[in-house]
């Protein structure tokens, strides 16, 4: 069966520090991968998605970037964190077989910026 792992589960970082969140998927090949941010009490905002290695689509302009160095690895990064980057970050995958596939989510990373 397929599983998705995100780490770390929680992270406290000072303003201006770098960020690297990692997500890996097991049990499937060529998945589509997604990064979301969920602000407290709010819905989900799609940040990036990827349909293949090295292919990244950005949905909103921001202080973050994403990379996909391997088929089942998706990384969310920042060079200098802002206070507004605080939130709950969720990684998800879907089967790479078209737009009707459901997405499956990891357990998330809660990021607090001080």
Partner 1 sequence: GNSVTQMEGPVTLSEEAFLTINCTYTATGYPSLFWYVQYPGEGLQLLLKATKADDKGSNKGFEATYRKETTSFHLEKGSVQVSDSAVYFCALSDPNTGTASKLTFGTGTRLQVTL
Q: Which residues bind partner 1 (CB under 8 A)?
A: 6, 32, 34, 42-44, 46, 49, 51, 57, 90, 92, 94, 96-108, 110
Cβ 33 to partner 1, closest distance in Å? 9
Based on CB atoms, which residue is closest to partner 1, 11 or 44?
A: 44
Cβ 80 to partner 1, closest distance in Å? 27
Based on CB atoms, which residue is closest to partner 1, 78 or 94?
A: 94
How buried is residue 98: exposed, middle or buried, by Cβ count under 10 Å (0-12/13-18/19+)?
Answer: exposed
How buried is residue 28: exposed, middle or buried, by Cβ count under 10 Å (0-12/13-18/19+)?
Answer: middle
Distance CA 50, CA 73 (A): 10
Based on CB atoms, which residue is closest to partner 1, 64 or 93?
A: 93
What is the full DSSP assignment across 36-62?
EEE-TT--EEEEEEEEETTEEEESS-S
Cβ 112 to partner 1, closest distance in Å? 14
């Amino acid at each position: 069966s397929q599983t998705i792992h995100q780490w770390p589960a929680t992270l406290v970082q000072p303003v201006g520090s770098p960020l690297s969140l990692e997500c890996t998927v097991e049990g499937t090949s060529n998945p589509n991968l997604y990064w979301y941010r969920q602000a407290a009490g709010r819905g989900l905002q799609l940040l990036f998605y990827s349909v293949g290695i090295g292919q990244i689509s950005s949905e909103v302009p921001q202080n973050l970037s994403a990379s996909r160095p391997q088929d089942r690895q998706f990384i969310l990064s920042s060079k200098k964190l802002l206070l507004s980057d605080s939130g709950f970050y969720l990684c998800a995958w879907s089967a790479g077989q078209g737009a009707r596939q459901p997405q499956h989510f990891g357990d998330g990373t809660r990021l607090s910026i001080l």
